[in-house]
Amino acid sequence: MSKSLFKVRRNAILITILIIVLSTLFGVNRSLGGRIMEVSDLFNEGVKSGGYVLKSIRSQLIVRAETALDMITVGSNYNSAGDQTSALRTARNKLLDLLDGETSPRALYAANKELDNAFSALYLKLSALTLTDSDAEIIDENFSRMNNAAMVIDKSEYNSAVRDFHRNVLSVFPTNLLIKICPVDEPELFE
């Protein structure tokens, strides 16, 4: 036992193998993590397509939150729309809280759906009331803005980029094996 750990050939080989395996795992984790970050950033920065960058989903969620605030302002002028206005305010605040943090696309998708439902309920309620001409114009403009932002989100190629990444990187050998022992947070779909 007085021999040095590295003087025993078997120990030196085991340590060398261990170093090679650990450095390989570290390299895979680092490389894969960088590629995953690139895909995830598309959610915040937009997807390059046909020579230009499509608007990001995050930017369109912000547009939808701003539009909801305009609708809340109109709704607060009508007592009979109080419940719907309050529900939209709650849904908007939830979406904004999630946008402020490092929230997954899946959680933002759910908050966006909640905002959409609350917005639609308030729009329907206000549409059934006798509004001033300016309020009627505002809710129609807000309805169009909300739908336009939803269409931009639907046309975003973020989900396609995530699916392509899963298909072309994560499910290909050797990544499909290495990902099991190199845990990383895979990019999520916005759905």
- What is the pLDDT confidence band of residue 5, given thresholds at 50, 70 and 90? low
Smallest CA-to-CA distance from 189 within 103, 113, 106 is with 106
**What confidence score (pLDDT) does residue 3 get?**
55
* CA dist., res. 112 & res. 2, Å (int): 67
Q: What is the structure's pLDDT at 149?
A: 96
Pairwise CA distance, residues 123 & 55, whole Å: 26
- The pLDDT of residue 1 is 45
User: pTM for this structure?
Assistant: 0.81
User: What pLDDT sits at residue 28?
Assistant: 64
Which residues, in sequence order, are CB contacts of 150 under 8 Å at separation 6+?
60, 64, 116
The span from the CA of 86 to the CA of 118, in Å, is 9
Owner of token pair 């995050």: 58
Q: Taking the mean position of all CA atoms in its chain, how far away is CA 167?
A: 19
Tell me the per-residue pLDDT of 16-25, one tens digit each, with 9 for 90 and over.
Answer: 888 887 776 6
